[in-house]
Amino acid sequence: MASDPFRSRWAWILAIVTLLVASTAAVGVWETVDAPEASPTFETDIADIQASMGVMTGLRETTIERDEETVRTVEQVWRRPGKGKYRIEDVGGTASDSVLKVSDGRTLWLYDSADGRVVQINLNGSATADSPSRIERLLTTLNRRSADEPARSSEISPLPVVPSEGGQAASTAGVAGSLTVSYEGTATVANRSTYVFELSSNANTTAFVSGFSQTLWLDQEWYVPLKRVTDYRRGDRNVSITVGYETVSFDSEIDHGQFRFDPPAGVALTTTERPRQLHFADRAGLQAASSFSLPDPSLADSFRLVDATWTVGHRVRSLGLQYANATARVTISKSNLTWYEPTTEGQPVNLGDQEAALRNLGTELRISWVCDGARYSVAGTGVSAEQLIEIARSVACE
C-alpha cells in the first residue's frame, strides 16, 4: 500500500505539539561575530518583555543537511510569541510538501491544498508553551558567571533545532541537560542587533547523539532567537540544521484574522486532540489527578522535586516526576505506552525481578522497562549509569 505523505507530515507535527515544545526560530542575513570585551548583564524576564511585543513577521529559511542530502524550506511567518498564535505559509525551497499552519492559541489547523485535506488539532484551550523559559535559564546562568570565568556545564536544554510549528522532521531525541554555555559577543542578523551564545555537549562520543553544539543569536531588544545553527552526529550520520529569518519586523500592524482559518468547502477534515498536560507543585496534587500509583524513587537528600506532570490524550496516559540538585537532574515517568518500542539498542540491566534496557541518548542516560501494564522510564543527566540503575531499582514496579 502506498504511503500517505500528508499523514506522515501530520503525525510528525502532532508529535511535536504533543511534546509541548515550541519556539521562535531564525537564519539569514548575518555578519561576523564581534568578540566580547565582557559579558553584559542580560534581561531575564523574557515573558514580560515579549508580552508587549505585538506581532512579529518575517521570511524564515530552514536548511537541513544530512551528509550529502540537503532540504531547504522558505516560509512567511506571522507570530504572537507567548500567545500560541501564528500563521506559516510555505513560499519556496526544495521541500516536496507544502502545508499551511494556522493557530489562534486554541486550535491548530494544517491545510494541504494540493491534497485537499485539513487537520484540526484542538489545543485544549491553552497555548503551546513557548521558548522564553529556556532562554531565561540560559541568561540567568550567564548573569551569575563572572566575565573571566571559563564556560562550564549547566542544566540547560538547547532550543528545538527546527520550528516546532512545522517544517522537516529533525529530531535530536535525548539532547537535553548539561551543556557548556558561553557568551560569544554580538552580531547582526536580518538587520537586527543580536547577542551570540554557544551551547555544546561534552557527552561521551559513543552516545547515539554525539558531538552536539548549537549557536544561538538572540535579538537584543526582544530576546527572540533570530538565528540558530545546530550540529550533531546521529548514529553514523552528520546533521547540520540552520534556521532563521532573512527579514524580520516587530510590532507589525496586521489583520488579526491572519490567525483564523476557515476550511474551504469540500475538503477532507480530520479532527484530533492534543494531549493535555497538567503541572503540579507536589506529589499529592499529581496523585489526586493521576490514574496511576506514583513511583517513590530513592534519591540523595540533595534532590528536590521541581516538576510533576499528568498528561492525558486520546491514547496516552502518562505521569512524570522531575527531581534536580545543583549538578544533576532525574526524571521518572510511568505511562500506558506498553506497545512503544525504542529505535535505539540498549544494554540489558537487571532491576531485581525486572529486565530493563539502559540507553545512552547523548547527554541523557535512560533506563526503561514494562511491568504490570505500565511502561516505566528513569532518565538522568549529571548522574552515572550505576547511580541511575540504583534509582531505577528503587522504582522497579511501583
Domains along the chain?
Answer: 5-271 (2.50.20.10), 275-395 (3.30.200.100)
Take residue 372 and report the three cell numbers written for it: 504490570
Give the pLDDT of residue 208: 61
Query: Which long-range CB contacts under 8 A does 319-323 form with residues at least 24 apart?
Result: 319/286, 319/290, 319/292, 319/294, 321/283, 321/286, 321/294, 321/295, 321/297, 323/297, 323/299
Give the pLDDT of residue 166: 37
Contact 111, 261 (CB under 8 A): yes
Give the pLDDT of residue 237: 82
Banded model confidence at residue 149, pLDDT cuts 50, 70, 90: low
Is the pLDDT at 234 greater than 80? The verdict is no
pTM listed for this prediction? 0.67
Give the pLDDT of residue 159: 61
Q: Higher pLDDT residue, 25 or 325?
A: 325
Give the pLDDT of residue 228: 93
118-140 mean pLDDT: 69
Backbone angles phi, psi at 144, to 5 degrees: -75, -20
Give the pLDDT of residue 298: 94
Mean pLDDT estimate for the chain: 77
Banded model confidence at residue 16, pLDDT cuts 50, 70, 90: very low
pLDDT digits (tens, 9 = 90+) for 274-311: 677 788 888 888 898 888 899 999 999 999 998 888 88
Take residue 384 and report the three cell numbers written for it: 552515572
Least confident interval from 151-155, 242-246, 337-341, 391-395: 151-155
Task: Give the span between the Cα atoms of 341 and 370, in whole angstroms.
Answer: 11
